[in-house]
């Protein structure tokens, strides 16, 4: 059965950047339906607006739905999963280079535009109960989001952690226009 895959970009990014177009093309070639979500105000993001964008796109959460998030897309997915109602469940999630708590704690408030996406303790049990399967993928030398974020997320969700040697932030700036680890999970 084909999957419905929704791909969520990160802060100051676009649906067409990094490995997302490559992933879309490859998933569609295997018969999946793929939507690259264009998140509102990517340079000044608001958590509730980003979560609503996922909710509006998915409409009917079910086990054919898979979410793929990169960087800020990861806590956005975690917040979306927390918002699901009892009885709603998706097939799975791919969480790439994401974080679970504020990254810029030592910076000035105006520099902390994304902290509110992860300014609370996530309800990990709820997230596990509404997400069929998951994988966390992270570069071993990510200088944007430290590896311990991925280790914590994978531990709390009880899912596999795939560490990409020399992966950086797994974006174009780190020379990643393809990301086979995501495709492997979704095949």
Residues that are catalytic:
71, 142, 169
Cα-trace Rg, the chain: 15
As to burial, measured by CB atoms within 10 angstroms (0-12 exposed, 13-18 middle, 19+ buried), residue 83 is: middle
Inter-residue contact 100 to 118 (CB < 8 Å)? yes
Residue whose tokens read 């596999």: 160
Using alpha carbons, select from 69, 57, 52 the residue that is nearest to residue 134: 69
Inter-residue contact 23 to 184 (CB < 8 Å)? no
Using alpha carbons, select from 103, 70, 94, 114 the residue that is nearest to residue 157: 94
């Amino acid at each position: 059965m084909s999957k419905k895959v929704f791909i969520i970009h990160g802060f100051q990014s676009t649906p067409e950047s990094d490995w997302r177009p490559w992933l879309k093309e490859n998933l569609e070639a295997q018969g999946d339906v793929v939507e690259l979500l264009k998140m509102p105000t990517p340079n000044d993001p608001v958590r509730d607006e980003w979560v609503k964008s996922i909710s509006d796109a998915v409409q009917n959460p079910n086990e054919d739905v898979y979410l793929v998030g990169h960087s800020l897309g990861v806590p956005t997915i975690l917040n979306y999963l927390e918002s699901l109602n009892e009885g709603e469940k998706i097939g799975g999630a791919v969480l790439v280079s994401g974080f679970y708590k504020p990254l810029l704690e030592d910076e000035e408030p105006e520099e902390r535009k994304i902290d509110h996406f992860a300014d609370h303790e996530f309800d990990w049990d709820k997230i596990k109960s509404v997400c069929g399967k998951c994988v966390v993928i992270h570069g071993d030398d990510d200088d944007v989001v430290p590896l311990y974020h991925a280790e914590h997320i994978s531990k709390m969700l009880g899912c596999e952690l795939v560490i990409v040697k020399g992966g950086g932030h797994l974006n174009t700036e780190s020379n990643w226009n393809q990301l086979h680890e995501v495709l492997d999970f979704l095949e």
